[in-house]
Chain A
Amino acid sequence: MSAELAEPASKIELPAHVGGGGEIPTFDITLRVRRYNPEVSEDATWDDFKLTMYGTDRVLDALHKVKWEIDGSVSFRRSCAHGVCGSDAMRINGRNRLACKTLLKDLDTSKPITVEPIKGLPVEKDLIVDMEPFFQSFREVMPFLINKGHEPTKERLQSAEDRERFDDTTKCILCAACTSSCPVFWTDGQYFGPAAIVNAHRFIFDSRDDAGDMRLEILNDKEGVWRCRTTFNCSEACPRGIQVTQAIAEVKQAILSRKI
């Protein structure tokens, strides 16, 4: 007889005398997952799952438990599961978060924890959305170094101060939490969105890059930076703590000072 495997498989099982492993408090939660399967129904529904989870568990662990032990048809993206790859952004209790960085104990476990796909992008199944419009905007701001000078034989040198100028926007992991938290993007899918602007910012303010003007011209569009309403939803949603709204404001300033 195999005892019910309560711990996530990723945890190291400690022998009892070591202590620690068994002392993690457990609690019961209700995970309310938004389900959508176009092959079955055009309507999305809520499914509730009652789970016993540990104090060290994240929302992703709860989703794993559901998928691996209760309902294998629950679909979601995740790759690294450690907040680096940015594939498991979802709307948790109405806020865009990475499921792998949101601890269950930090949420209100007395109420059902709602998990929905990020808003504003077409849902393909359950928590999986079509990211193509998001990446298309990303591609259009040319998120790569463009340098017109001679290629150096070694690395391109840069002072610490010049590097610091765009340090914040280098942290983006393209999880789409910001863009899909933006109320403008919800109703206007043509808006470039915070993530594309953040990644343009990363090169516009890079002293080694020569195509800043081209990127500013692309973002000086009616669907570009001027669509931003500074609601700060993006800054609040960013799992890397990027000051997204500030980055957008800096791009606005750069366009203004270039034109006037």
Chain B
Amino acid sequence: MTATIDSPRSGRNSSGKNSSGRNSSGKIAPQYRRTGGSRGNFEMLAWLFMRLSGVVLVVLIFGHLFVNLMVGEGIHAIDFGFVAGKWADPFWQVWDLAMLWLAMLHGTNGVRTIINDYAEKDSTRLWLKIVLYAATTVIIVLGTLVIFTFNPCPVVDGVPLPGGFCPAA
């Protein structure tokens, strides 16, 4: 009798169905069988994105914290007017937009990874990801909208909304 070595990936076929259910005969239990082909380079790009966005975020976030909390009057200067002043400048619009998108995608990809790692059932994984992507989309769209349309003194039907921080017009 000669020993045979299975060719690569031969264990994936459904051949040998009539063998016993136990795994002692070289059959792989279903939870170990790699299903579904690779999605191109997606995982590689996701991995790369995490590294690059992480580095950029360190600069963006610490820059953001320094400018908001340390420069000038520091934290005491922060109010709706301060934010509106910042977003009147395209530089800070781009800065905050980059920070919002990178942080959201970085965080979402991290949670996606955790779901992939720890959700064992396919249906659980699917639903968690649906919730995750929905939340991400809402926050990114809403955040982007706010950055470009921020108005510290909204006027509804000719009446300024209460707040007390807006100079009476």
Q: Does B17 contact A (CB under 8 A)?
A: no
Q: Does B165 contact A (CB under 8 A)?
A: no
Sample of 18 A–B contacts (CB below 8 Å): A122-B23, A122-B29, A130-B24, A130-B29, A136-B32, A140-B9, A183-B117, A187-B117, A189-B29, A189-B31, A190-B32, A190-B35, A220-B43, A222-B38, A226-B46, A227-B43, A229-B113, A256-B48
- The answer, among A124, A133, A220, A222, for a CB contact under 8 Å with B32, is A133
Report B106 CB to chain A, min CB distance, Å.
16
Q: Does B76 contact A (CB under 8 A)?
A: no
Question: Are the CB atoms of A190 and B34 closer together than 8 Å?
Answer: yes
How many Å lie between the Cα of A221 and that of B38 in the bound state? 5
Question: Are the CB atoms of A223 and B34 closer together than 8 Å?
Answer: yes
Report A227 CB to chain B, min CB distance, Å.
8
Question: Are the CB atoms of A255 and B117 closer together than 8 Å?
Answer: no
Q: Does A167 contact B (CB under 8 A)?
A: no
- The answer, among A132, A224, A252, for a CB contact under 8 Å with B23, is A132
Question: Are the CB atoms of B32 and A139 closer together than 8 Å?
Answer: no
Known contacts A133-B32, A139-B5, A140-B8; is-contact A124 B41 (Cβ 8 Å)? no
Question: Are the CB atoms of B11 and A226 closer together than 8 Å?
Answer: no
Question: Are the CB atoms of A124 and B28 closer together than 8 Å?
Answer: no
A195-238 at interface with B (beta carbon < 8 Å):
218, 220-224, 226-227, 229
Report B27 CB to chain A, min CB distance, Å.
7
Name the B residues within 8 Å of A148 (CB-CB).
Answer: none
A134-153 at interface with B (beta carbon < 8 Å):
136, 139-140, 142
- The answer, among A122, A142, A188, A189, for a CB contact under 8 Å with B116, is A188
Question: Are the CB atoms of A124 and B24 closer together than 8 Å?
Answer: yes
Known contacts A190-B32, A221-B38; is-contact A136 B11 (Cβ 8 Å)? yes
- The answer, among B6, B9, B11, B41, for a CB contact under 8 Å with A220, is B41
Chain B residues within CB distance 8 Å of chain A = 5-6, 8-9, 11, 23-24, 26-29, 31-36, 38-39, 41-44, 46-48, 113, 116-118, 120
Question: Are the CB atoms of B39 and A132 closer together than 8 Å?
Answer: no
How many Å lie between the Cα of A105 and that of B5 in the bound state? 42
In the complex, which residue of chain B has the Cβ closest to the Cβ of A121?
Answer: B32
Count residues of chain A with CB under 8 A from any CB of chain B: 28
Question: Are the CB atoms of A255 and B23 closer together than 8 Å?
Answer: no
Report A44 CB to chain B, min CB distance, Å.
17
Question: Are the CB atoms of B41 and A252 closer together than 8 Å?
Answer: no
Given contacts A133-B28, A140-B9, A190-B35, 18 further A-B contacts (CB under 8 A): A124-B24, A130-B23, A130-B24, A130-B29, A133-B32, A136-B32, A184-B117, A187-B120, A189-B29, A189-B32, A220-B38, A220-B44, A221-B34, A221-B43, A226-B43, A226-B44, A227-B43, A256-B48
- The answer, among A124, A142, A184, A222, for a CB contact under 8 Å with B39, is A222
How many Å lie between the Cα of A17 and that of B116 in the bound state? 65
Question: Are the CB atoms of B116 and A256 closer together than 8 Å?
Answer: no
Report A142 CB to chain B, min CB distance, Å.
6
Q: Does A11 contact B (CB under 8 A)?
A: no
How many Å lie between the Cα of A140 and that of B38 in the bound state? 14
Q: Does A259 contact B (CB under 8 A)?
A: yes
Question: Are the CB atoms of B44 and A142 closer together than 8 Å?
Answer: no
Question: Are the CB atoms of A132 and B42 closer together than 8 Å?
Answer: no
